[in-house]
Amino acid sequence: MLIWQGKGILVLLPAILFAVFASLTEVVVSSNRDVATGGGLLLGGIAGGALIWWFDRWLERRNPPRTLVDQQTGQQVAVKRRDSLFFIPMRFFPYLYGAAAVGGIVLLVTA
């Protein structure tokens, strides 16, 4: 079973990069190593979402929808890129990254 279409698998790359960024930020910024401030998590989530948003827009500009015409019926069909991971289109992942970052902050603050 294929869980991604097109370039959808690339939404995992910012998650890995910015998880490392968040943990390194916590180590450098936090004076008390036992308490996480959550700033790195928030910055990592926002930066990851921004990177995916930019990449999705770049793909859309690079590959605009094409219009094909059926020779027999003359009917026009628009064909466009479909980039998704777990059946979620790539354009929704920046919002998921932001929600995950805010949710992580809420969990850190309430714990």
DSSP H stretches of helix in 1-111: 12-29, 39-62, 93-110
Averages of pLDDT over each 10 residues, the chain, 111 residues = 80 83 72 62 82 90 88 89 87 88 79 65
User: Do 48 and 16 touch, CB atoms closer than 8 A?
Assistant: no
Is 92 domain-assigned?
yes
Is 2 domain-assigned?
no
For 13-26, the pLDDT digits (tens) are 888 887 787 777 77
Is 49 domain-assigned?
yes
Number of domains forming the structure of the chain: 1
Is 65 domain-assigned?
yes
- Establish how many alpha carbons lie within 13 A of residue 46's alpha carbon, considering only the half-sphere containing its beta carbon: 8
**pTM, rounded to two decimals:** 0.73
**Which residue range(s) make up the domain with 49?**
8-110
Is 1 domain-assigned?
no
